Amino acid sequence: MKVLIFMTQFYQLSGAERLAVELAEELNKSGIRADILSMYTEEMPGVEEAKRALLLKGIPAVHFLGMRIHPPVSSMLPAVMQLRHLLREEKYDIVETSMMMPAIITSWSTMMGVQTRHVVGLHQVFRRDRENELKHMFFRLTVRRNQLIRYYSITDYAVAHWITYSKTSPRHIRRIYNAILDDCFEIRNDRELVRKELRIPEEGKLVIYVGRIAAYKGIDTLFDSLGPVCERHNIYLLYIGLPDHSVNGTREMIEQIEKRIANEQLGERVKFLGHQKDIPRLMSAADLLAHPTRIEGFGLTLAEAMAVGLPIVASNVEAIPEVLAGTDSIMVPPDDPEAFQAAVLRTLRRTPDEAASAIAKGRNRAQDFRISNRTDAMIQLFEDVIQGRF
Protein backbone atom coordinates (compact mmCIF):
# COMPACT_ATOMS: atom_id res chain seq x y z
CA MET A 1 0.00 0.00 0.00
CA LYS A 2 1.25 3.47 -0.87
CA VAL A 3 -0.31 6.46 0.90
CA LEU A 4 0.06 10.22 0.42
CA ILE A 5 -0.71 12.41 3.44
CA PHE A 6 -1.71 15.79 1.98
CA MET A 7 -1.66 18.67 4.48
CA THR A 8 -1.35 22.43 4.45
CA GLN A 9 2.13 22.47 6.05
CA PHE A 10 4.31 20.45 8.41
CA TYR A 11 6.67 23.02 9.91
CA GLN A 12 4.30 24.79 12.34
CA LEU A 13 2.15 22.04 13.77
CA SER A 14 -1.27 22.58 15.27
CA GLY A 15 -3.71 19.75 16.01
CA ALA A 16 -4.66 18.41 12.57
CA GLU A 17 -1.19 18.97 11.07
CA ARG A 18 0.47 17.25 14.00
CA LEU A 19 -1.84 14.24 13.67
CA ALA A 20 -1.10 14.05 9.93
CA VAL A 21 2.65 13.94 10.49
CA GLU A 22 2.31 11.38 13.28
CA LEU A 23 0.10 9.22 11.05
CA ALA A 24 2.72 9.25 8.28
CA GLU A 25 5.44 8.30 10.75
CA GLU A 26 3.42 5.45 12.26
CA LEU A 27 2.37 4.07 8.88
CA ASN A 28 5.99 3.86 7.78
CA LYS A 29 6.91 2.09 11.02
CA SER A 30 4.15 -0.41 10.20
CA GLY A 31 5.62 -1.16 6.78
CA ILE A 32 3.25 1.00 4.75
CA ARG A 33 4.84 3.65 2.58
CA ALA A 34 3.44 7.04 3.50
CA ASP A 35 4.77 10.23 1.91
CA ILE A 36 3.86 13.79 2.81
CA LEU A 37 2.61 16.54 0.49
CA SER A 38 2.56 20.17 1.62
CA MET A 39 0.14 22.52 -0.06
CA TYR A 40 2.66 25.34 0.11
CA THR A 41 6.04 26.15 -1.38
CA GLU A 42 9.38 24.82 -0.22
CA GLU A 43 10.83 28.34 -0.28
CA MET A 44 9.74 29.38 3.21
CA PRO A 45 11.73 29.89 6.44
CA GLY A 46 12.22 26.70 8.43
CA VAL A 47 10.80 24.38 5.77
CA GLU A 48 14.09 22.83 4.67
CA GLU A 49 15.05 21.99 8.26
CA ALA A 50 11.61 20.50 8.96
CA LYS A 51 11.80 18.45 5.77
CA ARG A 52 15.19 17.02 6.75
CA ALA A 53 13.80 16.11 10.18
CA LEU A 54 10.92 14.20 8.55
CA LEU A 55 13.27 12.29 6.26
CA LEU A 56 15.42 11.35 9.25
CA LYS A 57 12.30 10.02 11.00
CA GLY A 58 11.62 7.63 8.12
CA ILE A 59 9.31 9.59 5.81
CA PRO A 60 10.39 8.37 2.33
CA ALA A 61 9.48 11.54 0.40
CA VAL A 62 8.20 15.06 1.02
CA HIS A 63 6.48 16.84 -1.88
CA PHE A 64 5.31 20.43 -2.33
CA LEU A 65 2.37 21.74 -4.33
CA GLY A 66 3.92 25.22 -4.47
CA MET A 67 0.90 27.30 -3.48
CA ARG A 68 1.26 30.44 -1.40
CA ILE A 69 -0.45 30.95 1.95
CA HIS A 70 -4.05 32.17 1.49
CA PRO A 71 -3.95 31.23 -2.21
CA PRO A 72 -6.21 32.97 -4.73
CA VAL A 73 -8.99 30.98 -6.39
CA SER A 74 -7.10 31.20 -9.69
CA SER A 75 -4.40 28.90 -8.30
CA MET A 76 -6.84 26.03 -7.73
CA LEU A 77 -6.87 24.60 -11.26
CA PRO A 78 -3.04 24.45 -11.61
CA ALA A 79 -2.88 22.79 -8.19
CA VAL A 80 -5.46 20.18 -9.23
CA MET A 81 -3.56 19.40 -12.41
CA GLN A 82 -0.25 19.17 -10.55
CA LEU A 83 -1.70 16.82 -7.95
CA ARG A 84 -3.27 14.61 -10.64
CA HIS A 85 0.15 14.31 -12.28
CA LEU A 86 1.80 13.40 -8.96
CA LEU A 87 -0.82 10.74 -8.17
CA ARG A 88 -0.42 9.11 -11.57
CA GLU A 89 3.38 9.34 -11.54
CA GLU A 90 3.83 7.92 -8.04
CA LYS A 91 0.86 5.50 -8.23
CA TYR A 92 -0.53 6.24 -4.76
CA ASP A 93 -3.35 4.00 -3.56
CA ILE A 94 -4.74 6.50 -1.04
CA VAL A 95 -4.62 10.25 -0.45
CA GLU A 96 -5.55 11.26 3.09
CA THR A 97 -6.51 14.86 3.79
CA SER A 98 -7.43 16.41 7.13
CA MET A 99 -7.93 20.06 6.22
CA MET A 100 -10.46 21.82 4.04
CA MET A 101 -8.32 23.22 1.21
CA PRO A 102 -6.31 20.01 0.63
CA ALA A 103 -9.61 18.09 0.70
CA ILE A 104 -11.11 20.35 -1.98
CA ILE A 105 -8.05 20.10 -4.23
CA THR A 106 -7.86 16.32 -3.83
CA SER A 107 -11.57 15.85 -4.41
CA TRP A 108 -11.32 17.47 -7.82
CA SER A 109 -8.00 15.74 -8.57
CA THR A 110 -9.41 12.25 -8.00
CA MET A 111 -12.77 12.74 -9.68
CA MET A 112 -12.01 11.26 -13.13
CA GLY A 113 -9.24 9.18 -14.66
CA VAL A 114 -7.19 8.69 -11.48
CA GLN A 115 -7.07 5.37 -9.64
CA THR A 116 -6.08 6.88 -6.29
CA ARG A 117 -8.84 6.87 -3.66
CA HIS A 118 -9.49 9.85 -1.41
CA VAL A 119 -10.04 9.57 2.36
CA VAL A 120 -11.16 12.76 4.13
CA GLY A 121 -10.45 13.21 7.82
CA LEU A 122 -12.89 15.54 9.59
CA HIS A 123 -11.17 17.18 12.55
CA GLN A 124 -13.90 19.57 13.57
CA VAL A 125 -17.65 19.67 14.02
CA PHE A 126 -19.43 20.87 10.89
CA ARG A 127 -22.82 22.52 11.32
CA ARG A 128 -24.85 24.30 8.67
CA ASP A 129 -25.83 27.12 11.03
CA ARG A 130 -22.17 27.87 11.70
CA GLU A 131 -19.91 26.56 8.90
CA ASN A 132 -21.85 28.22 6.11
CA GLU A 133 -19.48 30.73 4.57
CA LEU A 134 -18.83 30.54 0.83
CA LYS A 135 -15.75 28.34 1.35
CA HIS A 136 -17.80 25.87 3.39
CA MET A 137 -20.54 25.77 0.79
CA PHE A 138 -17.94 25.10 -1.92
CA PHE A 139 -16.39 22.38 0.25
CA ARG A 140 -19.75 20.73 0.75
CA LEU A 141 -20.56 20.92 -2.96
CA THR A 142 -17.15 19.53 -3.91
CA VAL A 143 -17.19 16.44 -1.73
CA ARG A 144 -20.77 15.62 -2.66
CA ARG A 145 -19.77 15.54 -6.35
CA ASN A 146 -17.10 12.90 -5.72
CA GLN A 147 -19.09 9.82 -4.74
CA LEU A 148 -15.95 7.71 -4.18
CA ILE A 149 -14.72 9.72 -1.18
CA ARG A 150 -14.78 7.98 2.17
CA TYR A 151 -14.62 9.74 5.52
CA TYR A 152 -13.54 9.36 9.10
CA SER A 153 -14.15 11.76 11.94
CA ILE A 154 -12.71 12.19 15.39
CA THR A 155 -15.75 11.59 17.62
CA ASP A 156 -19.22 10.11 17.34
CA TYR A 157 -20.56 13.63 17.89
CA ALA A 158 -18.62 14.94 14.88
CA VAL A 159 -19.70 11.96 12.75
CA ALA A 160 -23.37 12.62 13.42
CA HIS A 161 -23.08 16.30 12.55
CA TRP A 162 -21.15 15.61 9.33
CA ILE A 163 -23.90 13.25 8.14
CA THR A 164 -26.46 16.01 8.68
CA TYR A 165 -24.21 18.74 7.26
CA SER A 166 -23.12 16.96 4.07
CA LYS A 167 -25.87 14.36 3.52
CA THR A 168 -23.16 11.66 3.51
CA SER A 169 -24.37 8.10 3.93
CA PRO A 170 -23.57 6.70 7.40
CA ARG A 171 -22.03 3.72 5.56
CA HIS A 172 -19.29 5.96 4.20
CA ILE A 173 -17.94 7.43 7.44
CA ARG A 174 -16.27 5.97 10.51
CA ARG A 175 -15.32 7.29 13.90
CA ILE A 176 -11.58 7.11 14.60
CA TYR A 177 -10.47 8.90 17.73
CA ASN A 178 -7.55 11.28 17.69
CA ALA A 179 -4.39 9.99 19.34
CA ILE A 180 -1.61 11.12 21.64
CA LEU A 181 1.97 9.92 21.71
CA ASP A 182 3.06 7.26 24.17
CA ASP A 183 5.35 9.86 25.76
CA CYS A 184 2.30 11.30 27.51
CA PHE A 185 1.83 8.06 29.43
CA GLU A 186 5.50 7.76 30.30
CA ILE A 187 6.37 11.32 31.29
CA ARG A 188 8.62 11.71 34.30
CA ASN A 189 7.26 14.05 36.93
CA ASP A 190 9.56 17.09 36.95
CA ARG A 191 7.25 19.18 39.13
CA GLU A 192 9.92 20.80 41.26
CA LEU A 193 12.30 21.57 38.38
CA VAL A 194 9.58 22.86 36.02
CA ARG A 195 8.16 25.12 38.71
CA LYS A 196 11.59 26.61 39.29
CA GLU A 197 11.91 27.28 35.58
CA LEU A 198 8.49 28.93 35.52
CA ARG A 199 9.02 30.72 38.84
CA ILE A 200 5.96 29.13 40.40
CA PRO A 201 6.20 28.55 44.18
CA GLU A 202 5.74 24.95 45.28
CA GLU A 203 2.74 25.88 47.42
CA GLY A 204 1.09 27.80 44.54
CA LYS A 205 -1.79 26.24 42.63
CA LEU A 206 -0.81 26.09 38.97
CA VAL A 207 -3.67 26.16 36.45
CA ILE A 208 -2.75 25.91 32.77
CA TYR A 209 -4.58 26.43 29.51
CA VAL A 210 -3.04 24.63 26.51
CA GLY A 211 -4.16 25.24 22.96
CA ARG A 212 -4.79 27.82 20.30
CA ILE A 213 -5.14 31.34 21.74
CA ALA A 214 -8.33 32.30 19.94
CA ALA A 215 -11.61 34.02 20.75
CA TYR A 216 -13.71 30.85 20.43
CA LYS A 217 -11.50 29.04 22.97
CA GLY A 218 -12.98 31.01 25.88
CA ILE A 219 -9.70 32.46 27.14
CA ASP A 220 -11.61 35.51 28.33
CA THR A 221 -13.98 33.35 30.37
CA LEU A 222 -10.98 31.70 32.01
CA PHE A 223 -9.48 35.05 33.00
CA ASP A 224 -12.83 36.36 34.23
CA SER A 225 -13.21 33.27 36.42
CA LEU A 226 -9.72 33.06 37.97
CA GLY A 227 -8.23 36.54 37.65
CA PRO A 228 -10.25 38.00 40.56
CA VAL A 229 -9.34 35.13 42.94
CA CYS A 230 -5.71 34.44 42.02
CA GLU A 231 -4.30 36.25 45.05
CA ARG A 232 -6.89 34.94 47.51
CA HIS A 233 -6.43 31.28 46.54
CA ASN A 234 -2.74 31.46 45.56
CA ILE A 235 -3.45 30.51 41.94
CA TYR A 236 -1.04 30.95 39.04
CA LEU A 237 -2.59 30.89 35.54
CA LEU A 238 -0.55 30.16 32.42
CA TYR A 239 -1.82 30.39 28.84
CA ILE A 240 0.25 28.09 26.60
CA GLY A 241 -0.16 28.34 22.82
CA LEU A 242 0.15 30.65 19.85
CA PRO A 243 -2.34 33.44 19.14
CA ASP A 244 -4.51 32.89 16.09
CA HIS A 245 -5.17 36.41 14.85
CA SER A 246 -7.04 35.05 11.82
CA VAL A 247 -9.97 34.39 14.17
CA ASN A 248 -12.18 37.46 14.51
CA GLY A 249 -11.93 39.11 17.90
CA THR A 250 -8.79 37.31 19.06
CA ARG A 251 -6.42 40.27 18.89
CA GLU A 252 -8.83 42.52 20.77
CA MET A 253 -9.51 39.84 23.39
CA ILE A 254 -5.81 39.33 24.10
CA GLU A 255 -5.20 43.07 24.33
CA GLN A 256 -8.08 43.44 26.79
CA ILE A 257 -6.80 40.61 28.99
CA GLU A 258 -3.26 41.99 28.96
CA LYS A 259 -4.58 45.45 29.89
CA ARG A 260 -6.47 43.97 32.83
CA ILE A 261 -3.42 41.99 33.93
CA ALA A 262 -1.46 45.24 34.09
CA ASN A 263 -4.22 47.27 35.76
CA GLU A 264 -4.91 44.60 38.39
CA GLN A 265 -1.19 43.93 38.94
CA LEU A 266 -1.45 40.25 38.10
CA GLY A 267 1.71 40.05 35.98
CA GLU A 268 3.34 37.52 38.32
CA ARG A 269 0.27 35.29 38.40
CA VAL A 270 -1.21 35.38 34.88
CA LYS A 271 1.11 34.93 31.90
CA PHE A 272 1.01 34.11 28.19
CA LEU A 273 3.90 31.70 27.50
CA GLY A 274 3.41 31.30 23.75
CA HIS A 275 4.32 28.05 22.02
CA GLN A 276 5.98 25.40 24.21
CA LYS A 277 7.35 22.12 22.89
CA ASP A 278 7.23 19.85 25.94
CA ILE A 279 3.57 20.06 26.91
CA PRO A 280 3.38 16.76 28.89
CA ARG A 281 6.34 17.85 31.02
CA LEU A 282 4.64 21.16 31.79
CA MET A 283 1.43 19.33 32.59
CA SER A 284 3.28 17.16 35.11
CA ALA A 285 4.05 20.29 37.14
CA ALA A 286 0.52 21.70 37.08
CA ASP A 287 -2.46 21.16 39.36
CA LEU A 288 -5.25 21.54 36.81
CA LEU A 289 -5.95 21.88 33.10
CA ALA A 290 -8.55 24.54 32.26
CA HIS A 291 -10.37 24.08 28.94
CA PRO A 292 -13.08 26.77 28.69
CA THR A 293 -13.69 26.51 24.94
CA ARG A 294 -16.96 27.43 23.25
CA ILE A 295 -16.65 24.74 20.54
CA GLU A 296 -14.67 21.50 20.45
CA GLY A 297 -14.58 18.50 18.12
CA PHE A 298 -12.16 16.53 20.30
CA GLY A 299 -9.49 18.39 22.33
CA LEU A 300 -6.08 16.71 22.16
CA THR A 301 -4.96 18.51 25.30
CA LEU A 302 -7.75 16.78 27.22
CA ALA A 303 -6.37 13.37 26.25
CA GLU A 304 -2.81 14.47 27.06
CA ALA A 305 -3.84 15.76 30.47
CA MET A 306 -5.63 12.52 31.34
CA ALA A 307 -2.62 10.45 30.31
CA VAL A 308 -0.29 12.60 32.41
CA GLY A 309 -2.66 12.48 35.40
CA LEU A 310 -3.74 16.12 35.40
CA PRO A 311 -7.28 16.98 36.62
CA ILE A 312 -9.52 18.80 34.14
CA VAL A 313 -12.22 21.46 34.28
CA ALA A 314 -13.82 22.02 30.88
CA SER A 315 -16.81 23.49 29.10
CA ASN A 316 -19.69 21.11 28.58
CA VAL A 317 -19.86 21.63 24.83
CA GLU A 318 -20.00 19.52 21.68
CA ALA A 319 -17.71 16.44 21.88
CA ILE A 320 -16.09 17.16 25.26
CA PRO A 321 -18.52 14.94 27.24
CA GLU A 322 -17.67 12.08 24.88
CA VAL A 323 -13.91 12.53 25.29
CA LEU A 324 -14.15 12.83 29.09
CA ALA A 325 -16.67 9.98 29.47
CA GLY A 326 -16.13 7.84 32.56
CA THR A 327 -13.87 10.34 34.31
CA ASP A 328 -14.28 12.66 37.29
CA SER A 329 -13.50 15.73 35.17
CA ILE A 330 -15.90 18.59 35.92
CA MET A 331 -17.77 20.16 33.00
CA VAL A 332 -19.67 23.43 33.23
CA PRO A 333 -21.67 25.56 30.78
CA PRO A 334 -19.59 27.77 28.45
CA ASP A 335 -19.29 31.50 29.09
CA ASP A 336 -20.05 31.10 32.80
CA PRO A 337 -17.08 32.45 34.79
CA GLU A 338 -18.73 31.84 38.17
CA ALA A 339 -19.45 28.19 37.39
CA PHE A 340 -15.95 27.70 36.01
CA GLN A 341 -14.37 29.29 39.08
CA ALA A 342 -16.41 27.10 41.42
CA ALA A 343 -15.42 23.97 39.49
CA VAL A 344 -11.72 24.90 39.60
CA LEU A 345 -11.78 25.58 43.35
CA ARG A 346 -13.73 22.38 43.99
CA THR A 347 -11.16 20.37 42.02
CA LEU A 348 -8.20 21.97 43.78
CA ARG A 349 -9.78 21.10 47.16
CA ARG A 350 -10.16 17.37 46.49
CA THR A 351 -8.91 15.05 49.20
CA PRO A 352 -5.92 12.83 48.34
CA ASP A 353 -8.23 9.85 47.86
CA GLU A 354 -10.58 11.82 45.60
CA ALA A 355 -7.64 13.12 43.57
CA ALA A 356 -6.13 9.63 43.19
CA SER A 357 -9.45 8.20 42.02
CA ALA A 358 -9.90 11.00 39.47
CA ILE A 359 -6.37 10.51 38.13
CA ALA A 360 -6.88 6.75 37.77
CA LYS A 361 -10.15 7.21 35.87
CA GLY A 362 -8.57 9.78 33.56
CA ARG A 363 -5.58 7.57 32.78
CA ASN A 364 -7.89 4.66 32.06
CA ARG A 365 -9.91 6.75 29.60
CA ALA A 366 -6.70 8.01 27.97
CA GLN A 367 -5.85 4.43 26.96
CA ASP A 368 -8.54 4.74 24.27
CA PHE A 369 -6.50 7.50 22.65
CA ARG A 370 -3.18 5.67 22.27
CA ILE A 371 -1.51 6.22 18.92
CA SER A 372 -1.42 2.48 18.20
CA ASN A 373 -5.23 2.37 18.30
CA ARG A 374 -5.52 5.16 15.75
CA THR A 375 -2.84 3.70 13.47
CA ASP A 376 -4.49 0.27 13.42
CA ALA A 377 -7.90 1.82 12.70
CA MET A 378 -6.50 3.96 9.87
CA ILE A 379 -4.74 0.98 8.27
CA GLN A 380 -7.98 -1.01 8.41
CA LEU A 381 -9.88 1.90 6.87
CA PHE A 382 -7.35 2.25 4.00
CA GLU A 383 -7.44 -1.50 3.32
CA ASP A 384 -11.24 -1.51 3.28
CA VAL A 385 -11.32 1.44 0.87
CA ILE A 386 -8.85 -0.22 -1.51
CA GLN A 387 -10.72 -3.54 -1.38
CA GLY A 388 -14.10 -1.86 -1.85
CA ARG A 389 -15.40 -2.97 1.55
CA PHE A 390 -16.10 0.59 2.71
Percentage of the chain beyond pLDDT 90 is 75
Burial of 188 (0-12, 13-18, 19+ CB in 10 A): exposed
Q: Which domain holds residue 381?
A: 2-179+371-386
Whether residue 159 is found in the same domain as residue 233:
no
Instruction: Name which of 295, 287, 352 is nearest 313 in CA terms.
Output: 287
Whether residue 18 is found in the same domain as residue 132:
yes
Whether residue 267 is found in the same domain as residue 233:
yes
Predicted TM-score (pTM) of this structure: 0.91
Whether residue 334 is found in the same domain as residue 264:
yes
Please give the Cα distance from 331 to 328 (Å, whole number). 9
For the chain, how many structural domains are there in total?
A: 2
Whether residue 290 is found in the same domain as residue 336:
yes
Whether residue 20 is found in the same domain as residue 154:
yes
> Reading across the β-sheet that carries 205-210, which strands appear in turn?
270-274, 235-240, 205-210, 288-291, 312-315, 330-332
> Does 228 score more than 80 pLDDT?
yes
Supply the pLDDT for residue 300: 94
Please give the Cα distance from 286 to 361 (Å, whole number). 18
pLDDT in tens, 47-90: 888 899 999 999 999 999 989 888 887 888 999 999 999 999 99
> Does 11 score more than 80 pLDDT?
no
Whether residue 137 is found in the same domain as residue 227:
no
- Measured CA to CA in angstroms, residue 340 lies from 56, 139, 286 at distances of 44, 36, 18
pLDDT in tens, 251-293: 999 999 999 999 999 999 999 999 888 899 999 999 999 999 9
Whether residue 265 is found in the same domain as residue 276:
yes
Please give the Cα distance from 44 to 56 (Å, whole number). 20
pLDDT in tens, 297-355: 999 999 999 999 999 999 999 999 999 999 999 999 999 999 999 999 999 999 999 99
Those residues whose C-beta lies under 8 Å from the C-beta of residue 165, and which sit 6 or more positions away, are: 126, 127, 128, 131, 140
* Dihedral pair phi/psi, residue 331, rounded to 5°: -120, 135
Please give the Cα distance from 149 to 103 (Å, whole number). 10
Whether residue 354 is found in the same domain as residue 375:
no
> Does 190 score more than 90 pLDDT?
no
Q: Alpha-carbon torsion 148, 169, 321, 226, what sign?
A: positive
Q: CB atoms < 10 A from the CB of 260, how many?
A: 15
Say if CB 287 and CB 198 are below 8 A apart.
no
Supply the pLDDT for residue 306: 97
Of 179-193, 342-356, 367-381, give the lowest mean pLDDT range: 179-193
Whether residue 18 is found in the same domain as residue 134:
yes
Supply the pLDDT for residue 13: 60
> Does 10 score more than 80 pLDDT?
no
Read off the CATH number of the domain in which 301 is found.
3.40.50.2000
Parallel/antiparallel/unpaired status of strands 312-315 and 150-153 = unpaired
CA 376 to centroid of chain Cα atoms: 19
- Measured CA to CA in angstroms, residue 120 lies from 7, 8, 166 at distances of 11, 14, 13
Whether residue 238 is found in the same domain as residue 132:
no
Mean pLDDT, all residues of the chain = 93
Whether residue 25 is found in the same domain as residue 129:
yes
Say if CB 286 and CB 197 are below 8 A apart.
no
Determine the residue type at 231.
E
Please give the Cα distance from 175 to 379 (Å, whole number). 14
